[in-house]
Amino acid sequence: MFETVTYEVPADRVARISLNRPEARNAQDTKLLYELNDAFDMAARDDAISVIVLAANGPHFSSGHDLREADPIGSLGKYETVGTWCGFSCEGAEGWMAREKELYQGLSERWRNIPKPTIAQVQGKCIAGGLMLVWPCDLIVASEDALFSDNTVSMGMTGVEFFGHPWELGPRKAKEMLFTSDFVTAQDAHRLGMVNQVVPAAELATFTLELASKIAAKPLFALKLAKEAVNAAEDAQGRISAMQTAFALHQLGHSHNMQVHGLPIDPRGAGGLVEAPKR
């Protein structure tokens, strides 16, 4: 059914979606993001499912966005978009902003608002765009070897498009993460409240599934209402408007890099992974 993610029901009322590009360290290209969105929709619409686990095959959760993808704006034309911001024949800053508003900020916010409980199951490295898959989940279970980073400041950017850092880590650690590009360990992420549980790698899948099953045994409507209530508390504190401001600054960063380097990011910090856009 899907090529870049897998979908299974490993326990009663639990769906597990797994990123399935381990050969590419689960780098997220346009196809993977739309398949992931379709898989989330499938689980959300299935009344026999109460809890959704987001996992990843291979040693690493995700290396972030696939910077090797050719024609990232034009590739959107192959998919049925879920947003209405642009027809994706747009060019320049408009085209770039439309892509990121749809695929990055838009999908992550959409997944954050799925009413059913979601649990991210994280091992290995979870870098930049990887954060935009785990932060929208309600709970995060990490293996002891899990490492989280946003290295986009090194690429001349502000931080990932779904700007959860201050909410997830607190303002000071968020700034340290952004300013240094260093990894945050699973243990530090747990101490700061970003991660719910840290478990040995060998127990990660079993522990997460048991947690999912425990939650799935509760009345689903009550779970949905509890989730909405906590999300409303975050939003009442200004999460949405703060993220919109961060997104606008992020687009300014891309435009600056286009003017200075001819690329949406500063290639000096991207390890040779970026090429000039095709359009």
| Positions in the binding site for Zn ion (CB under 5 A) | 100
In angstroms, rounded to a whole number, what is the distance separating the alpha carbons of residues 7 and 246? 33
Q: For 7-22, what is the HEC assignment?
A: EEEEECCEEEEEECCH
Nearest distance from residue 272's CB to Zn ion, in Å?
Answer: 19
Nearest distance from residue 106's CB to Zn ion, in Å?
Answer: 12
Nearest distance from residue 111's CB to Zn ion, in Å?
Answer: 18
Nearest distance from residue 152's CB to Zn ion, in Å?
Answer: 8
Q: What residues contact residue 69 under an 8 Å CB cut-off, 6+ apart?
A: 29, 30, 75
Nearest distance from residue 253's CB to Zn ion, in Å?
Answer: 8
DSSP 82: S
Task: Using DSSP, state whether 249 is helix, strand or coil.
Answer: helix
Nearer to Zn ion among residue 100 and residue 150 (C-beta): 100
Residue nearest to Zn ion (CB): 100
Nearest distance from residue 192's CB to Zn ion, in Å?
Answer: 25
Nearer to Zn ion among residue 66 and residue 100 (C-beta): 100
Surface-to-core class of residue 202, CB atoms within 10 Å of its CB (0-12 exposed, 13-18 middle, 19+ buried): exposed
Nearer to Zn ion among residue 39 and residue 128 (C-beta): 128
Task: Using DSSP, state whether 52 is helix, strand or coil.
Answer: strand
Nearest distance from residue 247's CB to Zn ion, in Å?
Answer: 9
Nearer to Zn ion among residue 100 and residue 102 (C-beta): 100
**Which token pair is 102?**
């749809």
Nearer to Zn ion among residue 35 and residue 100 (C-beta): 100
Determine which helix (DSSP H) or strand (DSSP E) holds 118, and give its type and residue range.
strand 118-122
- As beta bridge partners, residue 143 has 199
- As beta bridge partners, residue 122 has 142
Determine which helix (DSSP H) or strand (DSSP E) holds 191, and give its type and residue range.
helix 186-191
Nearer to Zn ion among residue 95 and residue 124 (C-beta): 95
In angstroms, rounded to a whole number, what is the distance separating the alpha carbons of residues 165 and 160? 9
Nearer to Zn ion among residue 29 and residue 100 (C-beta): 100
